[in-house]
Chains A and B, each alone.
Chain A
Amino acid sequence: MAQPATACETKPWRSEAAKPFISVRNIVKRFDDFTAVSNVDLDIYKGELFCLLGESGCGKSTLLRMLAGFEQPTSGTITIDGEDMARVPPDRRPTNMMFQSYALFPHMSVEKNVAYGLLREGLPKAEAYARVAEMLRMVKLEKLARRKPDQLSGGQRQRVALARALVKKPKLLLLDEPLGALDKKLREETQFELIKIQESLGVTFIVVTHDQDEAMTLATRIGVMKDGVIEQIGEPREIYEAPNSRFVADFIGSVNLFEGKVDAAAPDLMRIETEELGAVLLPPQSGLTFGQPVWGAVRPERFALSRSKPENTPNAWQGVVEEMGYIGHMSHYRIRLDTGVLIRASQSNRLRDEDPISWDEKVWISLQPSAFRVLTR
């Protein structure tokens, strides 16, 4: 960190002193006997683009709807900009939401859709429509202002929905699967557009998504949810490189998981005995005791492949390439070790004319100690 002051400004969650803009405390939501959200704590800072990531039914949408005010929490508190949100109805909250279905009013033109919120605020018509025009210019829809929603394409509707939610300048914008209905190419373009808009307006965003690529691209931080609980909160890099559980490691990207136990915990060295790889030698880590069951997570690209035995690491194994997939910038391998376990490895293809490792070759795979992430749950 060369400039810690800047990092603290752009990444306030790294600093202990920073005051959260939105704080969720011990929120529980039960529907009859089903607990959708259980004991969630969450701090979100001003100007963040926070992603709630999880599979459908994990409670991420329910959490979002509680922030918007459409669901009342069974217990717990939500504070936005220092104001307690209990008993504040959705029409009085400083939040706006962009719905997954966009929820554009079918009987109103684009312009009227976007103006609706401003007119409800009691803004004079002329001023409201001036702001609408400005917002429509921003999302590049000024030519379609008079169209009805059914005369627009999916991408255009998405932008109307975004404009309608943003035009009121909410303190917090909630986006429920904002890009879910777009096709892949459009989605990728829109992701960066969304970030640009968010940065230029400085509005705090909370995005709900089930798409990990989307979350990784958009987010300042990601909260990974499962069964109503936030499993891990962290920057995309943290979530990917340092998952705190098998679930998170497996959910984000692909991973090789090994089961084992701490075999030796000396001050200068730790050994983990796994069934699949045998012994793995690592630098010592705190918090682990002898005999403790642990899991190791290794990303495929962290394995190094070579034809000769690598000298720089004690952790190397021999196996045979069973499958190989060349996808251009990378090649994916499945390697059967002598112990019978199948390893997923991948390598980026940097050199144009190298002779790549291919099917049925006998190869060495190895890993640096830092590549082996030890998980306790």
Chain B
Amino acid sequence: MRGWFLPLAVVFGFVFLYAPIVSLVVFSFNDSRLVTVWGGFSTRWYGELLRDRQIISAAWISLKVAFFSATLATIIGTLGAFVLTRFSKFTGRLILTAMITAPLVMPEVITGLSLLLLFVSMEQMVGWPAGRGMITVIIAHTTFCAAFVAVIAQSRLRSMDDSLEEAARDLGAGPVRVFFDVTLPVIAPALVAGWLLAFTLSLDDLVIASFVSGPGASTLPMVIFSKIRLGVSPDVNALATIIIGFVLVAVAIAGWLMRRAMRKEL
């Protein structure tokens, strides 16, 4: 059965997934200003990138937004998941279930547009948030990232042995104590995974950020996108290569953490 088909399929799959990335990485070391012509090896675009104030500040904004929205989304998503799995009967359960997963299937354009309208009308009615900037992007990203965290946390909570919480109650812990002593530590690996997912989703997002961001708060994807529209410049390749490296390291760490947590569980 081993034959030639399976190895070929593997090669094909890898080429399909990684050829674009590899070419991007290779061309980031291209000396030529023309993106498609090889002009010899050079790291000049990395140097130029570091001198580009606009990109550096956008990257910094993106990281801040991703950090805060991932953290907020993890808190909100976990609480939502906890309510949905532990309180099986309450009025509005169905609506909450639908609402919490809606952002997963909602087109981003619509999410972005509706949040923009909300922010504008809130500003008119209560004066907050004043204008659009980093705060509004964080709120918007929290909204849709919380949905992803909730789904992950929910599946972990469901598979968790109920009697763990009962045992803690039985041994004399009140409900709040049980949550922090038992539930939270047990689902922690899922929450770390959820946080990382939320972080990368926020880092990735272009559409929603474009709607709700304001002057001076352009995220990295927004800056890259606007640069590309003016013509492909090689320093974007360099930037992309750095991001790829960053993501690879993050994914490796997350995977290692998750595997360690899983082994402990079993």
A157 at the interface (CB under 8 A from B): no
Which residues 244-266 in B have Cβ within 8 Å of A in the complex? Answer: 263-266
The yes or no answer to A352 lying at the interface (CB within 8 A) is no
The one of A69, A70, A100, A116 in contact with B171, judged by C-beta atoms closer than 8 angstroms, is A116
Q: Which residues of the other chain, B, contact A116 by a CB distance below 8 angstroms?
A: 168, 171, 173, 181
Contact size range, B: 20 to 34
Indicate the member of A89, A97, A168 with the most B CB atoms within 10 Å: A97
Residues 86-137 of A at the B interface (beta carbon under 8 Å): 89-92, 95-97, 99-101, 103-107, 116-117, 120-121
A260 vs chain B, min Cβ distance (A): 48
B169 sits at the interface (CB 8 A): yes
| Residues in A neighbouring B170, C-beta threshold 8 A | 68-70, 90-91, 95-97, 165
Judging by beta carbons under 8 Å apart, are B172 and A121 in contact? yes
Q: Mark B72-107, 1 if CB is under 8 A from A, else 0.
A: 000000000000000000000000000000000000
Q: 1/0 per position for A62-86, CB-CB distance to B under 8 A?
A: 0000001110000000000000000
A148 at the interface (CB under 8 A from B): yes
Contact B172 A106 (CB under 8 A): no
CA of A97 to CA of B177, assembled, Å: 18
For the complex, what is the distance from the CA of A120 to the CA of B182, rounded to whole Å? 13
A105 touches B169 (CB 8 A): no
> A373 at interface (Cβ–Cβ under 8 A)?
no
Number of chain A residues close to chain B: CB under 8 A:
27
Least Cβ–Cβ distance between B21 and chain A, in angstroms: 38
Interface status of A213 (Cβ within 8 A of chain B): no
A360 in the interface, Cβ–Cβ < 8 Å? no
Is A238 in contact with chain B by the CB < 8 A criterion?
no
Asked whether B25 is an interface residue with its Cβ less than 8 Å from the other chain, the reply is no
Contact B264 A168 (CB under 8 A): no
Q: Which residues from chain A contact B166 at a C-beta distance below 8 Å?
A: 68, 70, 90, 97, 99, 103
> Which residues of B sit under 8 angstroms from A164, Cβ to Cβ?
167, 171
| Alpha-carbon distance between A120 and B264 when the two chains are bound, in angstroms | 25
Query: How far apart sit A298 and B196, CA to CA, in the bound complex (Å)?
Result: 68
Assess whether B118 is interfacial by the CB under 8 Å rule. no
A117 touches B172 (CB 8 A): yes
A residues less than 8 Å from B173 (CB atoms): 91, 116, 120
The secondary-structure label for the interface of chain B is: helix
Contact flag A105-B163 (CB < 8 Å), given A117-B171, A120-B177, A168-B172: no
Whether, in the assembled complex, B24 has its beta carbon less than 8 Å from a beta carbon of chain A, the answer is no
Q: Closest Cβ of chain A: how far from B186's Cβ, in Å?
A: 6
Q: Decide: A106 near B264, CB < 8 A? Known: A91-B172, A101-B161.
A: yes
Other-chain residue from A99, A103, A120 in contact with B172 (beta carbon distance below 8 A): A120
A361 within 8 Å of B (CB atoms): no
Question: Which of chain B's residues 170-191 have a Cβ closer than 8 Å to chain A?
Answer: 170-174, 177, 181-182, 185-186
Instruction: Give complex CA distance A364, B254 in Å.
Output: 77
Q: Measured between C-beta atoms, what is the minimum distance from B253 to chain A in Å?
A: 20
A150 at the interface (CB under 8 A from B): yes
Whether A103 lies near B174 (C-beta < 8 A) is no
User: Are B161 and A96 closer than 8 Å at their CB atoms?
Assistant: no
With an 8 A cutoff between CB atoms, is B164 at the interface? yes
Contact yes or no, A168 B171, CB < 8 A:
yes
In the complex formed, the residue of B with least CB distance to A92 is B172
A113 to chain B, nearest CB (A): 9
Q: Are A106 and B186 in contact (CB under 8 A)?
A: yes
Return the CB mask of B219-233 against A: 1 if under 8 Å, else 0.
000000000000000
Note all chain B residues with C-beta closer than 8 A to A165: 170
B10-40 CB mask vs A (1 if < 8 Å, else 0) is 0000000000000000000000000000000
User: Is B164's CB under 8 angstroms from A103's CB?
Assistant: yes
Given A101-B161, A107-B185, A120-B177, decide whether A96 and B265 contact each other with a Cβ distance below 8 A. no
B152 → chain A closest CB, angstroms? 19
Give complex CA distance A150, B261 in Å: 12
CB-based contact B186/A107 at 8 Å: yes
* Bound CA span A99–B263, Å: 23
Q: How far is the CA of A100 from the CA of B162 in the complex (A)?
A: 12
Instruction: Name the B residues within 8 Å of A121 (CB-CB).
Output: 172
The chain B residue sitting closest to A164, CB to CB, is: B171
Chain A residue at smallest Cβ distance from B174: A91
Take A101-B161, A101-B163 as given contacts and tell me if A106 and B171 are in contact as well, using a CB distance cutoff of 8 Å. Answer: no
- How far is A269 from B263 in the complex, measured between Cα atoms in Å? 72
| Interchain CA distance A121-B170 in the complex, whole Å | 12
B residues 53-83 in Cβ contact with A at 8 Å: none
CA distance A97 to B171 in the complex (A): 8
How many whole Å from B184's CB to the nearest CB in chain A? 10
- State the CA gap A89–B168 with chains docked (Å): 12
14 A–B contacts from the bound complex (CB under 8 Å): A70-B170, A91-B173, A91-B174, A96-B171, A97-B167, A99-B167, A101-B161, A105-B168, A106-B265, A120-B173, A120-B177, A150-B263, A168-B171, A168-B172
Closest 3 CB pairs of A and B: A117-B171, A120-B172, A103-B167
**Known A69-B169, A99-B163, A121-B172; further 8 A-B contacts with Cβ < 8 A:** A70-B169, A96-B170, A100-B163, A105-B181, A105-B182, A106-B264, A116-B181, A150-B265
